[in-house]
């Protein structure tokens, strides 16, 4: 993948660390910025409250 894409992913990761969105956690894998792992947490006071949805994105 191109260098601009990698720079963009690093910038997005920095933003996620500085101002994480509610209900979501995500980060690139240790050895490849192009592979991200994330968790979407079930919203409070819903039937999904106790559920965590894991996902992986390969860019």
Structural domain boundaries, residue 25: 3-58
pLDDT digits (tens, 9 = 90+) for 1-59: 579 999 999 999 999 999 999 999 999 999 999 999 999 999 999 999 999 999 999 99
Alpha-carbon distance values, 24 to 3, 27, 49 (Å): 26, 10, 13
Return the CATH number at 15: 3.10.110.10
Q: How many domains does the chain have?
A: 1
* pTM of the full structure: 0.80
CA atoms within 13 A on the CB side of 21: 12
């Amino acid at each position: 993948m191109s260098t601009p894409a990698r720079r963009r992913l690093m910038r997005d990761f920095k933003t996620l660390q500085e101002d994480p969105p509610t209900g979501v956690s995500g980060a690139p894998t240790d050895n490849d910025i192009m592979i991200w792992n994330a968790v979407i947490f079930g919203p409070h006071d819903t039937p999904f409250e106790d559920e965590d949805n894991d996902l992986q994105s390969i860019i």
